[in-house]
Amino acid sequence: MLNDVTFGQYYPVGSFVHRLDPRFKILALIAFIVLLFVADNFYSMAACFLLLLFAIAFSRVPVTSVIRSVKAIIVIIIFTAVINLFFHTGSHLLWQYGVVKIYREGVIFTVFFVLRLFFLVMASSVLTLTTTPVALTDGIESLLKPLSYIKFPVHELALIMSIALRFIPTLIDETNRIIAAQKARGADFESGNIFKKIKAVIPVLIPLITSAFRRADELGDAMDARCYSGSKNRTKYKKLAFGWRDLVAFLSVAALIAGVVLFNIYAYRVYPPFYEYIKVY
């Protein structure tokens, strides 16, 4: 049931994106997320999709692995999309049944909302699939290093985020084992209404939480046994450095971002918006 969730897993392959500096990949993801919410027309959204396709192609990660990452939030996407569809008002009424009304503006807003969430999750999945937890920790710590001058625990925060990402696939495997053990004892997770299914999940949550605390305690003991002392006087086995790949990727991403911004500015002046062709009957 949870085998399709790929978020937090690392896909080992020697690709162009894998060899990029983790700091650049983190900054590129942040820029892409900002770009998604800046894009306000279909042309700009298509450019964002093109940028995402380039990242997936150069990462050599299977497209199915990236798409499966959306399954983890598909219920949330559907629920919020339905809410936006029925409660977003406008001036062009498309359909009405009693007090329920659907406007053209609501349909367009919902489409943009769903596309933004899909692209956001897929881009985040590309980052985790192409970057090891250790590299992510080093990248986050390096980017947040200026905060260390005001006594902010940068290294500890980066370590917590890295461990959280690393534990996602571990907890998924643990959940699958618990579900298999419960099914072997006669538990039923498939039949019944939504309330019965939620009730059936409770026997899974208790041992899962117990297992998570046990793993956290074991990890703490292992770190103590190796004399881990946080960021104090720690050295790096691999020092991060920007290379020619990062320069090429930076110029490419900057060009695509500039293209999206220009589309936002001039798309309505040069080309009519896509939804102007949607006729209202």
Tens of pLDDT, residues 115-125 = 888 898 889 88
Task: Look over the chain and give the mean of its residue pLDDT values, rounded to a whole number.
Answer: 79
Q: Residue 1, class by beta-carbon neighbours within 10 Å (0-12 exposed, 13-18 middle, 19+ buried)? A: exposed
Q: What is the pLDDT of residue 275?
A: 44
Please report the sign of the dihedral spanned by the C-alpha atoms of residue 189, residue 190, residue 193, residue 194: positive
Q: From CA 135, how far away is CA 158, in angstroms rounded?
A: 10
The answer to whether residue 274 scores a pLDDT higher than 60 is: no
3 state DSSP class of 152: coil
Q: The whole model's pTM is what?
A: 0.75
CA atoms within 13 A on the CB side of 214: 9
Residue-level length of the chain: 281
77-116 tens-digit pLDDT: 888 888 888 877 777 777 777 777 777 778 888 888 888 8
Flag the least confident range among 6-20, 146-160, 218-232, 254-268.
254-268
Q: What is the mean pLDDT of residues 183-201?
A: 74
| Structure tokens given for 58 | 């150069």
166 neighbors 128 (Cβ within 8 angstroms): no
Tell me how crowded residue 149 is: count the other CB atoms within 10 A of its CB.
Answer: 8
CA distances from 217 to 162, 186, 214 (A): 17, 31, 5
Confidence label for 233 from pLDDT (cuts 50, 70 and 90): low
The answer to whether residue 217 scores a pLDDT higher than 80 is: yes
End-to-end Cα, the chain, rounded Å: 43
76 neighbors 139 (Cβ within 8 angstroms): no
The answer to whether residue 273 scores a pLDDT higher than 80 is: no
